[in-house]
Amino acid sequence: MKRTLFAASLLALTIWGGVATSAAQPSDQASVPGVEWASVQSVDVQAINADLEPGKPTVDVGLYYPSNLHEGAKEKLPLSGLIEEFRNAKKVFEPTGVQLNLLFVKTGEVDPKHLAIFASKWETDMPSGGYGNMYVQGAVHPTEMSEGAIETFQAIVEPSSDNARTVYLVALQNVYMPYYEDLDGGRNWAPKIVNTSGLSFPSYSYADTIPERIRGVISLTKHDATNKLTIAHELGHKLMNVSHEYMEVSPQHEIRSDDGLMLYGSGTQIPSGEDGRWHQERLLLSPYLYRTDEAGEKVWNENYQEGGIYYDPIYGEYAVQFD
Ligand SMILES: [Zn+2]
Residue 62's DSSP bridge partners are 104, 168
Q: pLDDT band for 99, please (50, 70, 90 cuts).
A: very high
Could you tell me if residue 116 is inside a domain? yes
260 CA → ligand 1 middle, Å: 11
237 CA → ligand 1 middle, Å: 7
- 251 pLDDT more than 90: no
Could you tell me if residue 321 is inside a domain? no
296 CA → ligand 1 middle, Å: 34
Whole-number pLDDT of residue 313: 98
Torsion, Cα 130 134 136 142, to 10 degrees, reads: 90
CB neighbourhood size of 273 (10 A): 12
* Pairwise CA distance, residues 280 & 251, whole Å: 17
264 CA → ligand 1 middle, Å: 7
Backbone angles phi, psi at 222, to 5 degrees: -150, 125
18 CA → ligand 1 middle, Å: 30
8 CA → ligand 1 middle, Å: 28
**3-state secondary structure at position 173:** coil
> Which CATH number is 259's domain given?
3.40.390
223 CA → ligand 1 middle, Å: 14
Q: For residue 16, which amino acid is it?
A: W
Percentage of the chain surpassing pLDDT 70?
A: 89
Q: pLDDT band for 27, please (50, 70, 90 cuts).
A: very low
Q: pLDDT band for 249, please (50, 70, 90 cuts).
A: confident
Could you tell me if residue 20 is inside a domain? no
Estimate the crossing angle of helix 2-21 against helix 147-156, to 10 degrees: 30
Q: Are 242 and 236 in contact (CB under 8 A)?
A: yes
The string of DSSP codes covering 264-279 is: BSS------TTTTTTH
- Per-chain mean pLDDT for the chain: 90
b/e string for 142-156 if b means 16 or more Cβ within 10 A?
A: bbbbbbbbbbbbbbb
Quote the Cα angle for 323-207-182, to 5°.
45
191 CA → ligand 1 middle, Å: 20
- Cα of 259 vs its chain's centroid, Å: 21
94 CA → ligand 1 middle, Å: 20
CB neighbourhood size of 65 (10 A): 24
Q: pLDDT band for 252, please (50, 70, 90 cuts).
A: low
Torsion, Cα 222 228 230 233, to 10 degrees, reads: -170
Burial bucket for residue 195 (CB in 10 Å: 0-12, 13-18, 19+): exposed
244 CA → ligand 1 middle, Å: 6
230 CA → ligand 1 middle, Å: 8
* Pairwise CA distance, residues 216 & 174, whole Å: 19
Could you tell me if residue 86 is inside a domain? yes
199 CA → ligand 1 middle, Å: 7
* Pairwise CA distance, residues 25 & 18, whole Å: 12
128 CA → ligand 1 middle, Å: 17
243 CA → ligand 1 middle, Å: 7
- 6 pLDDT more than 50: no
251 CA → ligand 1 middle, Å: 10
Could you tell me if residue 130 is inside a domain? yes
241 CA → ligand 1 middle, Å: 11
Could you tell me if residue 21 is inside a domain? no
290 CA → ligand 1 middle, Å: 24
Could you tell me if residue 26 is inside a domain? no
- pLDDT tens sequence across 286-313: 999 999 999 999 999 999 999 999 999 9
- 29 pLDDT more than 90: no
- 59 pLDDT more than 80: yes
- Which is more confidently placed, 214 or 124? 214
Number of structural domains the chain divides into: 1
Range of the domain at 284: 2-12+31-315
Could you tell me if residue 273 is inside a domain? yes
- 126 pLDDT more than 90: no
